[in-house]
Each structure stands twice: as structure tokens, then as C-alpha cells.
Amino acid sequence: MSSEFSSTVILVLCTGNVCRSPMAEALLRYHLAEQNLKATVLSRGLAAPVGRSPHEHARKIAEARGVPIRSDKRASSVTGGDMAAASVIFVMDNEHRRDIQKNYPGSAGKTFLLGQWQNCEILDPIDKPESFFESVWAQCDEGAREWVGRLKKVGMLS
């Protein structure tokens, strides 16, 4: 598994892998490319409806901002292999962190809130209006930008 990844693997988790984590994955890829930094970025769900496409609002907002979600992106569930391969794991809320601590205790020390530096949890926009997705996008963008800078500073990205 490791041969297909760059040395730094960033794993982004949310509940279903159809809203928040696909947006955050696209934004992390964008901010890495913006600084010519290399990392493998993956997103998964803790309770994913496997095979489902990202939510239409998430796709629309990402496309409108020039940071499209990969067209082949489909919801997938996190595995123990994903957790082991990850250098750092970003989750959206404290419930996700508790889930990691319970089910993947060996990965708890490398798991952080994407919105940590904004001191916020990023709430699930599923079944919410497009305007709610807009605010989630902004939170993911701010978190992704901040984390890329911090990971670069500590030498995890080059």
C-alpha cells in the first residue's frame, strides 16, 4: 500500500464521505499544489454510504471556486490500513475524535480537528441548504490552508 503514496499521507475523515471530507480533500490538494508541496491526500467516512457520489451542493460549490472535487470520487469507508498509512488524520468534530480513540486507539495521537486553529468543529451539512454548505466550505478552506502551513513548518511537507 505504501508504494502508491508519497511519504506524507493526509487522511480526512467525516461521517459519510459525501460532504465535508471530499471538500476538505479537494482544498488540501489545492493548497498543497499552490505551494508546490507533495503529499497523498485521501478522504474516507466513518459510516460511509459506499459508492455514493459527493453531494451535489459540495460539487457545485467546489466547481464554482475552481477547486473541483475529483470526478471519480465515491464515498468509501475508512479501514485499518488507511489509519495505519496516515501520517496525520483530520476529522470534522469531536464525535469523530472519540470514534477514532475507541476504534483506532493507535491513531488517536495523530488525529486532529480540521478546524483546530479556528477553534471550531465543522458541522455536517447533509440535509441543509446550500448556504450551509457555503459556510462549511469556508471553514474547510481556512482549516486546510492553516494546516498546510503548519505541516510545512514542522517538516512534514516539502
**CATH for 67:** 3.40.50.2300
The one catalytic residue in 14, 59, 93, 141 is 14
* Domain assignment present for 158: no
Enter the DSSP assignment of 77.
B
Q: Does residue 157 lie within any of the structural domains?
A: no
Q: Is residue 141 part of a domain?
A: yes
Residues 19, 20, 29, 99: which is the catalytic one?
20
CB 69 within 8 A of CB 23: yes
Distance (Å, whole) CA 48 – CA 4: 23
Catalytic residue among 82, 93, 124, 141: 124
Question: Does some domain include residue 155?
Answer: no
> Does 14 participate in catalysis according to the annotation?
yes
Burial class (CB within 10 angstroms; exposed 0-12, middle 13-18, buried 19+) of 24: buried
Residue 102 lies in a domain: yes
**Coil vs helix vs strand at 87:** coil
Residue 84, domain extent: 2-150
**Do the beta carbons of residue 72 and residue 40 sit within 8 Å?**
no
Task: Tell me the per-residue pLDDT of 57-112, one tens digit each, with 9 for 90 and over.
Answer: 999 999 999 999 999 999 999 999 999 999 999 999 999 999 999 999 999 999 99
Residue 151 in grid coordinates: 505541516
The pLDDT tens digits of the residues spanning 110-158 come to 999 999 999 999 999 999 999 999 999 999 999 999 999 999 999 999 9
Structural domains in the chain (count) = 1
43 near 74, Cβ under 8 Å?
A: no
Residue 1 pLDDT exceeds 50 = no
Ramachandran quadrant class, 36 (left: phi over 0; alpha: psi -120 to 50; beta: rest): left
Cβ 81 vs Cβ 103: under 8 Å: no
In a domain, 156, yes or no: no
